[in-house]
Structure formats: structure tokens, C-alpha cells
Structure 1
Amino acid sequence: MNPFAFACITPHGGEIIPELQGVYPERMSVTRGSMEKLTTLMSEANPDCIIILTPHGTRIHGQFAITDSERMAGIVEENQSTYAMERRVDRELARMINKCAQEEGIPSGTINFGTAAGPISCLPLDWGVIVPLRFMPDVPIVVINPTRELSFGQHLEFGKALRKAVQQSQKRVGLIASCDWAHAHDKDGPYGFDPAAKPFDEQVVELIKTNQLEKVAEFEEGFIEAAKPDGIWQTLILAGAIPVEERYVEFLSYEAPTYFGLICAAYYSKGR
């Protein structure tokens, strides 16, 4: 049985946040609308805490990094505006996730900053977390950063350990895979243009729509490098945490209004 109250794949472009949309609110309006629907769905699930998988947080070389500070705080700046956020961390769940991963021989570690506990124990919130959380209930969080030094198979295995920890916690837990996709859609973007970007995103959309998340592990290394996505690793953790026989997908939207692709998808238990 799927132990997660609700799960989703979201993007993390700063302009998705309404307060940061600037003078071109239509630029990410499709995604913003999908995020509002995910707001409703996550709120209806009434989670006790939310786990966010981000590619942009504090990294441990060769290990999954799991936040274990009292709180996290950060800002996103876009279009001459700033959006700030602070959240409490569910340290009990964070430690349980780490314990389950290590019991399975998966390299992982918890991270903290400043002091062991108290108000100075605070890690930075990155934009991969702040953007989706802007639309979610204000509950404690656990932030997990994958590592590209480990194999795709190890990311699936980490997802299974994550699932085990959530089952043991007996908490209502939401899960967010924060993912942007190909970053090479625009010659004026920071990564330039590559013709691989469009077909890469098209294939990812098809895999999500047909509930075949595990197959993102089958992309060739050169294809990935050319398209420059940052969503594969988080998606594989989600796939390991919620196996195909237990998940029902509602694909909400895809757009690439700038240089990178944005996807929103919701995951429910089968039989919903």
C-alpha cells in the first residue's frame, strides 16, 4: 500500500512564484495554474510533513544528504523581487530515513549547521525547495539532495528506503520531486541551445503520462548531457518510493517558456 498521503513532480523556476512573476505573468502561467491545483491536492491530503527532493540543496559527495537542522530558511530573487521562506524540519523523520538507508547499505548522511539544536541550527533553503513549497501547506519538512556520483539503481533503492521510513513513522507524509527538465531550449540561455532538449522533454512527458518513471534511467549518458536536465535523480527516488503497481498519475502540464522545461504531475494511490 502506498504510504504517502500525496506525491507530485513539480518544477522550480523562480517566476512560477506569483510574487516573482514580474512584468510577464503569462510566461509561466500554465505551470502556475498547475501548481495551484497541486496546492489543493496536497492540502486535501492533510500531510503532517512534506519530504522535498531537490537537486540544488547542500550536497555530500557520493552520499544522499538529508537535512537534520531545527529549521531552514532562504530566499529566491527574480525580476528585482525577493521571496523569503522559513520552515521547521521534522528531525525525527529525517533520522529515520537516514537509518533505513544505511541499513540497506545506501550511502547517506544527515546534515546540520551552527549548533546541534536551537534557533541557530539552520540550513539554507534552495530555490528547488522554496518554489514548490510556496504552494504547499506550512508543515515541517525534510529536504533530501541526491548525488550524481551514485548510480540510477541506487536512487531507486534509496526511494525504497525512504518508503520504509515513512511506513515506520506512521505519519501522513507528502512527497515532492522538484525537477526541471532539459535546460538547452534557448540559445540565449546559460547553457545554450541543443537539439536534444526538445526530444528529451517529449520522451519524459510520455514516460510520465504512461506511468513508466523507472525508464528515465534508460536514457543514454550523451543524451542526458546534451539536454541537461536536473530531474532524473529525484524522479527515480519517487519511482522507488512508490512502485508502479501502487501509483496513479494525473499529468497536469508541460511548457518550456524560457530555456528549461517545466512539468507538473500528481500521484495518487491506485484505486483513488
Structure 2
Amino acid sequence: MSIKYAVITPHPPLIIPDIGGRYLGEVTSTVESMVTLGKKIKEISPETFIVVSPHCELFLKYFGVVTQERIEGDFREFGAPMVKLEFEIDTTLTQRIIDSARESDLPVREIQDVYLDHGAMVPLYYLTRELDYKPRLVLISFSLLPLERIYSFGKVIDSVAEENVVFVASGDMSHRLLPGAPNGYDPMGKIFDQAVVEIVKSGNLKGLLDLDPELVERAGECGLRSLVMLAGVMDGKKVRTRVLSYEGPFGVGYLVGEVESIDSDNLESYILNLAKEAVETYVKGKRVITPQNIPEELKRRAGVFVTIKKHGELRGCIGTIQGTQPNIAYEIV
């Protein structure tokens, strides 16, 4: 039992079309990245999403876990009551998480009679829109306990979760990027966001625990604890990370990314995703990517052929019979 795939998502309601309206043009990168994640989720077809939301009921010294059988919500608070989401809670997995956390001396409070908050609804709106079935949900709120405890809670989640589960770290980055931003302006907000983005790109997610507490405080963020829990979920695994986009047009940082375990049985997935990302990035932005988190198996030199097919039909092929780049990963790109 182990989680293989996780996503990093922001949760501004304005990226919902019925809410954002004319402002959607200001967050195009975020919206496109969320749509991309939705398509990836369709390929994975998970049975359950585990979502950690900063806007679920929050406790100072406890982790909150929703234990009611069903949960629903809408965006009436943001002027769109017609946009509704409803899920069945995966009560079996929820109880396993609670029991294992308590056995590990991690304090948990069960949450009942609540509605979906926008921290969960915004990512779930995009992650489930391509699915033709209803996945189940585990909904968690982080606590204000030390980051090391939150990391440990992530490890507990992974120890009891099945492979067909996707972990969703919902959170916005600094709320202080620009003058007039929701939480005021602080130049350290940009520095914090840059640091987080670089940590995610590097794949060394445990590095989140080493961020300067003063920097975190001045950033005015609501996403670090979600990311730390994700880091705990991926503890001890070789991972491939990908930042799909980052922007902050309204003074709040929106980071979209994915984290995938690339243990030896998942090498094929790494190769396919690297090729897809290389083509996608160049077509959209004329930019050549740099491979990250390269598996040992791809660090040697060799010839590579990459083919593109549409509906099973060959549309393009390019490659080399001998290595021309430092290693296979760079050859693929």
C-alpha cells in the first residue's frame, strides 16, 4: 500500500468559470494547468481523493478528519450557487487513517456535519470534471502543530492508503506579493514563493521543513502545511516532480504541480511523462525543459527515438541511433 501520485493545487474561486468571468484571462496559466491535471487524473482513474484543505475546520493542536458519510458544497458564497459538488466519504480509509494516527501518537479530532469548503471544492472541480464516475473522498485539515508532526501525519496517510488513491495538497502561496494584496505587501512573499517553487522542482520535498520560520511568517501563506503533509506522503520514495505553472497576478501566489513516485516499476511512466512535458512546453512556450529527478537507469548515454501518435496512428518520429546528449533523459528531450 502506497500513494503513487499527488498534486499541488491552489484554490482561488475565481478560476471557476462561473465566478471568475472576465478575470479568467488573468489566470490563464493556472486554469490551463488545472485542466492538464484533470486529464492526468482521467488516465489514473483513482477510486479516492485524499484532500488536505486549509479552509476545512482547523484545530490548533489536532488534525481534523471528516467522518460523516457524505459531503456536499456549492459556491454560493462567491456568487455561483449553481456550481455544486457532492462526494461519498471513503469511511474505511478515513478510519484507517484515524486509527493509525492515534497509534502514532498524532492527535486527531473527528469532524461531523460540515460542508465542502472552497479549499477542497476548487481543486476537485477541475480534478473530477473529466471523470465519468464519482470518486470517494477523504477530507483532512492540517493543524498548527510543528511542521515535523505534519510531515509525520503524511507518512501515516501513506502507510494505510492504496495505490489507487490520489493525494491533493490544496493551498495558496504568499498572500503578500503586491501592494494592495489581501494580507498587505511584504517583499519576502516573493522570496518565499520562489523558494517553494525551487524545492518542488528539485524533488527534495523534505527541504520544506528547512524554510526560515520568519520567511514563512512574513509570506502570509496558506499552503506550506499542505505541502509538508504531501512531503510526508512521499517520504522515502524516489519522486518525479513537475511544476506546471506559477503566477500571482492578484498578489496571491498560485502554484500548480504534480509529484509522482518513480520507483523502478514506474520507470516507463517517467519516460512517457518526460517526453510529453518536453513537447507540451515547447509547443506552448518555445522553451526547452531541463530533466529533473533523473532515475539512475537514465543517467547513461544511448540513442533514443520518440514517436507521437494520435488515435493509434503515427504522426511524427525523431531520434538518434547513438547518444548525442549527456544522458538518456536529455536525449528524450
TM-score by length of 2: 0.74
* Counterparts of residues 142-181 of structure 1 (less than 5 Å): 142-148=138-144, 150-166=145-161, 170=162, 172-181=164-173
User: Amino acid of the residue matched to residue 93 of structure 2?
Assistant: L
**Whole-angstrom distance in 2 between the partners of 1:48 and 1:80:** 31
Residues 251 and 47 of structure 1: CA distance in aligned 2, closer, same or farther (over 3 Å): same
**Whole-angstrom distance in 1 between the partners of 2:229 and 2:236:** 13
Q: 2:192 aligns with which of 193, 200, 208?
A: 200
Structure with the largest fraction of helix: 2
Deviation at 1:25, TM superposition (A): 2.0
What corresponds to 2:126 in structure 1?
A: 135
Aligned length in residues: 258
Deviation at 1:5, TM superposition (A): 4.6
The 3-state SS of whatever aligns with 1:260 is coil
* Counterparts of residues 173-192 of structure 1 (less than 5 Å): 173-192=165-184
* Counterparts of residues 1-272 of structure 1 (less than 5 Å): 3-77=2-76, 80-82=79-81, 83-113=83-113, 123-137=114-128, 138-148=134-144, 150-166=145-161, 170=162, 172-243=164-235, 245-270=237-262, 271=267, 272=269
**Aligned residues: CA RMSD:** 1.6
TM-score by length of 1: 0.90
Q: Contact conserved, 2:13 with 2:78, CA < 8 A, in 1?
A: no
**Whole-angstrom distance in 1 between the partners of 2:92 and 2:78:** 37
Residues 136 and 36 of structure 1: CA distance in aligned 2, closer, same or farther (over 3 Å): same
Deviations 1:130-189 (CA, angstroms, capped at 9, x unpaired): 0000012331101100011x11110111011101111xxx46111100010000012222
User: Amino acid of the residue matched to residue 110 of structure 1?
Assistant: E
Sequence identity (%): 29
Q: Contact conserved, 1:207 with 1:213, CA < 8 A, in 2?
A: yes
**Whole-angstrom distance in 2 between the partners of 1:31 and 1:10:** 9
Asked which structure has the greater CA Rg, the reply is 2
Structure 2 stretches lacking a partner, 5+ long? 129-133, 270-333
- Return structure 1 stretches of 4+ with deviation > 6 angstroms: none
**Whole-angstrom distance in 1 between the partners of 2:88 and 2:249:** 33
Q: Contact conserved, 2:64 with 2:110, CA < 8 A, in 1?
A: yes
Q: Greater CA deviation, 241-250 or 25-34? A: 241-250
User: Amino acid of the residue matched to residue 130 of structure 1?
Assistant: M
